[in-house]
Amino acid sequence: MTAGSAATVSPVATIESPAAPAASPGAAERGRPSRWRGRAGRAAGSAAVGVGLVGGTAVLWEVAKAAFDLDDRTLPHLWDVVAYLGSETSKGENYGMFLLNNLLVTARSAALGLLCGALLGVVTGVVIARSRLLGAGVLPLVVAAQTVPIVAVSPAMVLWLGTNWTTKIAIATYLTYFPVAVATAKGIQSVPGDALDLLHTYSASRRTVLFHVELPAAAPLIAVGLETAAAFAVVGTIVGELPFGSKTGLGVVILTSWQFYTIEPSALYCVALAACLLGGALVLAIRLLGSILIGYAPEGGSL
C-alpha cells in the first residue's frame, strides 16, 4: 500500500516549524478584519487552483487519448467514465450508488483506523519525546516497521482477525500510527529549551508542561502528520479489503473491476477515481479540522 509508507520512513519529512503561526506572514501583518478577508481570498484562490487542476487533468486526459491514439479500451473518454456512474449493475442497482456505498464502507474503516492510530500515535510520540532511552530505541524500529509490505501481511492478518472490519481497521491503524507518533515526538522535541526553563521556574508539573506547552507547540506538526496519516488510512483500508472473503469496500470493487476490465473498462477508471477522491477528501477534511482547531492554517495551507 501506500505511496504511503512514504511518510513512513520520514514522517519527519512532513514536519513543519511550530513557529508557523508567526511564520505565516500574511496573517500576522494584517489587522483583524482584513485577516478574515485575506483568508477567504486565499481559500477562494486555492479553490480556483483546485478547479484548474481538475480541469487541467481532464484536458490532459483527452489530449493524451488523442495524441497517443489510445483506444477506448485502454483509456475511455472521460465522459464515458462519468456516464458509467449512471449505468446499472448486474443486480439492477445504480452504479454510482453502488460505488458510493462501497466508498462509504471504506471511508468508515479508514476514519476509525485513523482515529485509533492517531490516539496511539500521540501517546507514543509523547513517550518517545519524554524518554531518551525509549526514544532512542523506538525511532529506528519505527523506521523498520514502515518497510513491512502490508499487502503481503494482510492475508495473514485475515487469518488472525477474520475478514470483518477489524482487519481493515487494524491495517489502517498500523499505517497511521507511525506518522503521527513521529510528528508528535518531533513537535515536542522542538519546544525551545527557554520555554521549558520558564515553566520549570514556575515549578509546573509535567502534566501542565505537556498540556500547556508541549502539545500546543506540537499541534501544527501533529496536524501535518495527521494529514499524511489520513492518506495512508485510505490506502491501508483498501489493502485490507483486497484478500478474498471481503464483500464490500473499494478494494473489492477494484479487484472485480480489474477482472472484468476487458468487458467494461470505464468501471476500473470510476473506482480508481473514487479512491483518489476519497484519499484527497479525507486529507482535506483533516486539514480543515486542523486549521479550525489550531486557529490558523499552517503556512501555505490555505483553505
Nearer to another protein, 23 or 119 (CB): 23
- From 45-53, 82-90, 165-173, 205-213, give the range in contact with another protein by CB under 8 A: 45-53
Contacts with another protein by CB under 8 A: the residue count is 93
Least distance in angstroms from the C-beta of 17 to another protein: 8
288 binds another protein (CB under 8 A): no
58 binds another protein (CB under 8 A): no
How far apart CA 271 and CA 225 sit, in angstroms, is 27
4 binds another protein (CB under 8 A): yes
Residues 167-226 that bind another protein (CB under 8 A): 185-186, 189-190, 193, 223-224
Q: Which residues of 275-284 are buried (b: 16+ CB within 10 A; e: fewer)?
A: beebbeebbe
29 binds another protein (CB under 8 A): yes
Nearest to 270 by CA among 109, 89, 1, 50: 89
67 binds another protein (CB under 8 A): no
Angle (CA) 164-167-169 rounded to 5° is 105
How far apart CA 36 and CA 124 sit, in angstroms, is 36
Nearer to another protein, 92 or 236 (CB): 236
271 binds another protein (CB under 8 A): yes
Least distance in angstroms from the C-beta of 239 to another protein: 6
Least distance in angstroms from the C-beta of 198 to another protein: 15
Helix %, strand %, coil % for the chain, to 5?
75, 0, 20
Binding mask 132-171 for another protein (x = CB under 8 A): xxxxxxxxxx-xx-xxxx-xxx-xx--xx-----------
| 3-state secondary structure (DSSP) of residue 88 | strand
Q: Is the dihedral of CA 132, 133, 137, 142 positive or negative?
A: negative
49 binds another protein (CB under 8 A): yes
Residues 222-261 that bind another protein (CB under 8 A): 223-224, 227-228, 231-232, 234-235, 238-239, 242, 250-251, 254, 257-258, 261
Nearest to 219 by CA among 6, 38, 17, 80: 17
Among 19, 40, 51, 53, binds another protein (CB under 8 A): 53
Residue 210 neighbours by CB under 8 Å, 6+ apart: 126
How far apart CA 128 and CA 283 sit, in angstroms, is 26
Residues 88-127 that bind another protein (CB under 8 A): none
Contact call for residues 255 and 240 (beta carbons, < 8 A): no
Among 12, 215, 222, 252, binds another protein (CB under 8 A): 12
Least distance in angstroms from the C-beta of 93 to another protein: 21
280 binds another protein (CB under 8 A): yes
Angle (CA) 173-9-250 rounded to 5° is 40
Question: Residue 182 to residues 162, 187, 228: CA-CA distances in angstroms?
Answer: 30, 8, 12
Nearer to another protein, 10 or 87 (CB): 10
